[in-house]
Amino acid sequence: MGAKSPFPSFKEHAFEVITWLRRNLDRAQMSKSESLRQSYFYQVDTGLRLLLFQYGIFKLVIGSSSDKRATALQNLVCYYSHLLGLKVVPLSFFGDSYYSSGSFPYYKHFSLRLKKEYYVLSVDHTDPPVFWPLALHELAHCWLSSRNDVDRVCHDHPSDLKGIDKDLVESRLEEAFCDVIEMLLQACFQLDPCQFL
């Protein structure tokens, strides 16, 4: 396994988002309704901010690619991405903490499922490889982003969730699912992070 260039992944992601932004900008300009026009402008503005955020992360991916540990990290992410059945392997990098991002904020903000999935995954740059299994939790976020498990639980258990803020419920359920997936990956596959070095 080797690290591939991150440019094609980000280019495809950016192109798809820009196409969607352009379509909404055209709709805003053609709209006769002021409230509809404002809604489209809001989507364009928020979508542009998300894309700029993703571009900032992409620059971090490029910057950390010279780290001597980058290939080992990408190998770990690639291996477990394939085990989870992800359609695309997240671009991994060394950041300030563990987190994941990519195409799923577009779904959260706009219910927009991009045709081509795109993920990035950060691990804490100060952590030695023995802590990298923490990245499996973030990989689980990527996996769940293309599924409707959280929505299904919310739909199937309305009486249990009555009176609780919907965003809080969804966030807590996703975190719980990610913790379980991380533990299953580690237990079932007897993770030894040193095997990727």
Q: What amino acid occupies position 34? A: E
Question: Number of helices and strands (H, E) in the chain?
Answer: 8, 3
* DSSP structure class, residue 196: G
- Answer yes or no: are the C-beta atoms of 64 and 93 closer than 8 Å: yes
Can you tell me which residue has the tokens 């100060």? Answer: 126
Predicted pLDDT at 97: 95
Predicted pLDDT at 197: 52
DSSP, residue by residue, 141-188 = HHHHHTS-HHHHHHHH-HHHHTTS-HHHHHHHHHHHHHHHHHHHHHHH
- Sign of the dihedral defined by the CA atoms of residues 99, 102, 108, 109, in that order: positive
Tell me the whole-structure pTM to 2 decimals.
0.81
Element (H, E) at 95: strand 91-95
What tens-digit pLDDT sequence spans the chain (197 residues)? 445 677 888 999 999 999 999 999 999 999 999 999 999 999 999 999 999 999 999 999 999 999 999 999 999 999 999 999 999 999 999 999 999 988 878 877 787 778 888 999 999 999 999 899 899 999 999 999 888 888 888 889 888 888 888 889 888 999 999 999 998 888 876 656 555 55
Domain residue ranges of the chain, discontinuous segments joined by +: 7-196
Distances (CA, A) of 28 to 18, 62, 88, 180: 15, 35, 33, 43
